[in-house]
Structure 1
Amino acid sequence: MPKEMISMYRTRSVWTRARPVAGGFHQVVASQVTTRVVPHIGAVSRREWNALVGPDAFYTTHGWLDGLRHSFGNDPVVLAEDHAGRLLGGVPTWPGETDPSDLFDLTRMLPGLHIPAEGWLWLGPRRGTQNALVGPAPGTRPILGPLLDRTLALARSRGLDGVVMPYLPSRYALLLAAAHPRARALLHSADTLLPIPQGGLEAYLAKLGRRDRHRRRRELRDLSRSGAQTAWRPFTPDLQDTAVRLITQNRARYGGTPDESWMRRSIAAQRAVGVLDDAYASVVTRDDSPVAIAILYGCGDRLHARYFGFDYARHQPAGEYFVALYQTPLQHAAKAGYRHYHLGISAWPSKIRRGAELVPQAAVILPVNGTVCSDDQAAEHNAQAVRAWRAIAPGRPHAYGPAWSDWVSQDTES
């Protein structure tokens, strides 16, 4: 085993264990933080890790990370512990990759800053586009410096240029960047979040503007006229072959691999570690044959859309995407206790027209030496990014939630 996997890297930092009391949190214990690298998430207690995962952090749960391990192999995890070995927080790592999507190419993610695309240690789950910090909020802040130091040491030991944690919501990105004087938080994307009304689909439609509401009802009518039927059900093993076939067709259509083994391996791994215990399938059928499927994951009061597939080899689309990913889940999700629906980082205008809110995401970048840009350059980049995102839907105030105010001070045109 490489030394980096077994060595202990100790840093002096005061971590305060907090417990809730009337009126806020009370500091009760201070101790030295120790950081170390373990070879994979399987070396960490599932119970201890998940106890530190927030309600909006499904893709950093132990189960999701363990599913990735079963699919793609071991990725090291950096841990922060107290002197007694109790877990205080952690951050997964992975080597990054290039693919046609450019989702993990810093040069394309942050144009104008001239950041090299390669040479970075990536933090967060492999190919994660909705990242979060793992730690005992509000006691997270004091452990972030030691965690960053340890990830930076890991990057240095591999001859890399530094570390990057992308796709972080504002509060996480600003907190992490503040933990190191050379780190920079740079806006580069936006998640889409749709509130799930308790009244189901009709309550959702009632909240839309008149034109958008008429369009959504027309989508339902058009699908009904095509003879299609919809179903909402747990994602059980009998659906696996259909899901693999249809999702692979969709991925191939948009530049992904036509090889079904990738998707088959991923689903098998997720079922093995229990991730699919809380997964749903939104299925559209024609003539009793599935033509479209969406796979969604439940975590707390949040629902996460992850995969969509369609039988392009045999059928022409007739609105199945929108019904499978919007109308059908919204009809059923509230009954299961879900209140927030994460739709992902693509097709923003279409999702906004369907009532979604944009949630800003930033990358925190920390080189081994120096900085990727000055404070002034970071502020200017973020100001331009805010203006660009606001231009996507200028007449739809619902599209911009309170998290954008975290960057308002940098937007000179606000």
Structure 2
Amino acid sequence: MATTCPVISRISGVRSLDPAVWRRLTADGPHFYASLPWLAAQEDFSGQPQRLLVAEQDGAVTAVLPYAVPDREFNPFYEPRALWGERAPAADGLIHLGVGRGYDNPVLLEASPEGERGELVAALANEVGRLVAETGRPAVAQYVRATATDTVAALLGGTAVTVVPVGLNAVIRLPGTGFDDYLRALPGSRASRRRKIGYERRRFEAAGYHVGCEKLRDCRDELAPLLVQLQHKHGQSATTESTARLLGSQAEHLDGIVFTCRRDGDLLGFSLVYPWHDALHVRMAGFDYPRLAGAFEYFNLTTYLPIDHAYRHGLREVHLGMESYRAKLLRGAVLAPTITLLGPGAVDDPDGLRAAAWRRAAAWENEIHDTAGAFTITGVFKEAGACPNG
């Protein structure tokens, strides 16, 4: 039990902290995006050190709160105005709490759960308030898990916090010991789903690809052109050069696994995944679309091969990320809500912003029959009036 008041310091660079501290911070498993290898890769790619608020009590680090003060945001999924229009503040006018990137944002990392949590959160909230005053920027926390909303609201000041839905993370939880157990556990019309998945796997196997499981460091130079094809197909802007740099930075720090399909040695499709504790995180995919056989390459590379791999290595979950909700639900995923919290002064018209955010969420109704229900949670989220029925 901590006996002294928390002392908060500001540190620049994730490698400024002892790796043993990071191991304690992420020991419970869910926080891949707060791991030292992931954050070091992000630092190297951006060229900017990660900023950290570090709390110490009795000579030991008890918590870390990452934050960023960006000059520009290139990813539209992290740009509030790209998500919700002019009622939202621009990313470059905000302090961003948490690790950023990954669409699953652990904001407060506690290395000593038995510590005085209330006192710790209050001390960090005071330091966030000082950052807001110094920079003239309100604070925001994006892609926060529902279970963390009350803590994050407290870090933002606890009052006048605007809370809006932002996305849903899809996770396939793996029962039993093999792919047949996964199939048997599928909800709904299981027989038809099993037949569909079996058909998609057989078509892929019959397409004549050479299917491999490769290390990112060995094939990273081949991936960028295919990833860019996928991004352009979905209306995203990306260059081969910047994508190659991103992959290179991750290859230097992370033990990435790449599921590949090749023909005559040429790479035609891939998915990039990262194992972390008992889960596999599917991060990227790419395809040479004109040369594909049309054999359900996407689902085999991003879902079925990762599930097979997870079972073989004793992993219990496959994290598929956001978007394409209907396809992921049909393959047994469960959806976990993520939200954005904007601190005092960030939003001029909270009611208008909430309405815009729910209009965006309503666009998923053809994939998710009860979008509002998917975001029904307790705590500050409900109290803030984010749910139109809440």
- Tell me which interval the TM-score lies in, with the shorter structure as reference length: 0.7 to 0.9
- Partner residue, 2:222: 242
Whether 2:112 is the aligned partner of 1:134: answer no
Report the CA distance shift for 1:83/1:364 in structure 2 as closer, same or farther (over 3 A).
Answer: same
The 1:219–1:83 alpha-carbon spacing in structure 2 relative to 1, beyond 3 Å, is: closer
Unaligned runs of 5+ in 1: 1-27
Which has the larger displacement, 56-65 or 172-181?
Answer: 172-181
**Identity across matched positions, percent:** 21
Aligned to 1:158: 135
Rounded Cα–Cα distance in structure 1 between residues aligned with 2:202 and 2:276: 31
After superposition, the Cα gap between the structure-2 partners of 1:84 and 1:77, relative to the gap in structure 1 and judged at 3 Å, is: farther
Q: Provide Cα deviations, 1:258-306, integer angstroms capped at 9, x if missing partner.
A: 5322232223322333x22xx2111122344321111101111111010
* Aligned counterpart for 1:312 among listed residues 286, 289, 305: 289
The answer as to 2:165 corresponding to 1:187 is yes
Query: 2:368 matched to 1:393?
Result: yes
Displacement of 1:380 in angstroms is 8.5
Of 282, 288, 298, the residue aligned with 2:275 is 298
Matches within 5 A, 1:162-173: 162-173=138-149
Post-superposition offset of 1:325: 0.9
In the alignment, the residues of structure 1 paired with residue 294 and residue 122 of structure 2 have an alpha-carbon distance, to the nearest angstrom, of: 50
Aligned-partner Cα distance in 1 for 2:102–2:123? 23
Aligned to 1:41: 14
Pairs within 5 Å for 1:4-403 = 28-53=1-26, 54-96=28-70, 97-99=72-74, 102-110=76-84, 114-118=87-91, 119-132=93-106, 133-135=108-110, 136-137=112-113, 139=115, 140-160=117-137, 162-179=138-155, 180-182=157-159, 183-208=161-186, 209-233=190-214, 235-273=215-253, 275-276=254-255, 279-312=256-289, 314-315=291-292, 317-367=294-344, 369=345, 392-394=367-369
For the residues of structure 2 that align with 1:212 and 1:131, how far apart are their CA atoms? 32
With 45-54 and 148-157 compared, the bigger mean Cα shift is at 148-157
Specify whether residues 221 and 405 from structure 1 end up closer, same or farther in structure 2 by C-alpha distance, changes over 3 A only: farther
Normalised to the residue count of structure 1, the TM-score between the two structures is 0.79
Residue identity matched to 2:272: I
TM-score by length of 2: 0.83
CA distance in 2, matches of 1:350, 1:197: 20
State how far apart, in whole Å, the 2-side matches of 1:281 and 1:138 are: 39
Distance 1:405 1:229, change over 3 A: farther
Post-superposition Cα deviations, 1:208-251, rounded to whole Å, max 9, x if no partner, equal 22222222122112223322243334x25321222233223323
Q: Which amino acid aligns with 1:268?
A: G
| CA distance 1:371–1:146, shift in 2 (3 Å) | farther
User: Does the CA-based 8 Å contact 1:231-1:328 persist in structure 2?
Assistant: no
8 Å contact kept, 2:282–2:319: yes
Query: Retained in 2: the 8 A contact 1:196–1:204?
Result: yes
Q: Which amino acid aligns with 1:354?
A: R
Separation in 1, partners of 2:69, 2:126: 17
Q: Cα offset for 1:110? A: 4.7
Residue identity opposite 1:137 in structure 2: P
The amino acid across from 2:179 in the alignment is: L
Residues 137 and 189 from structure 1, CA distance in 2 versus in 1: closer, same or farther, beyond 3 angstroms? farther
Q: Please tell me the root mean square deviation across aligned C-alpha atoms, in Å.
A: 3.3
CA contact 2:325–2:368 (8 Å) conserved in 1: no
Count residues with an aligned counterpart: 375
Moved more, 137-146 or 204-213: 137-146
**Conserved in 1, the CA contact under 8 Å of 2:167 and 2:338?**
yes
Letter paired with 1:34: V
